[in-house]
Amino acid sequence: MRRIQSTEAKARFAEFLRTAENGERIAISRNGRVVAYLVPAEDAQEQACREGVARFRAAAADWKPSGITVEEILAARDEGRRF
């Protein structure tokens, strides 16, 4: 991963976009500290999906069984329907 200063990123933004489009990741730093990453869109989408799954799994770990059977759920869903 290439690391560049924010001033360089600003001056050569179009070039770095093409670089990211070609699959390279770029770390953008300010005052010696990385503040952002320029990554291909596919990488960003994959990361967002992974984070979403991780949040869902963390929330699901706290779920407790309700004691309702599948048949009761289906009956409640179908209640009032005309067949």
In order of their start, the domains of the chain are: 2-61 (3.40.1620.10)
Residue ranges, the chain, pLDDT below 50 = none
At residue 83, the pLDDT reads 65
At residue 42, the pLDDT reads 86
Mean pLDDT of the chain: 92
Half-sphere exposure of 53 (CA within 13 A, CB side): 6
Q: Is the pTM of this model over 0.95?
A: no
| CA pair distance 35, 73, nearest whole angstrom | 49
Q: Is there a contact between 37 and 27 (Cβ–Cβ < 8 Å)?
A: yes
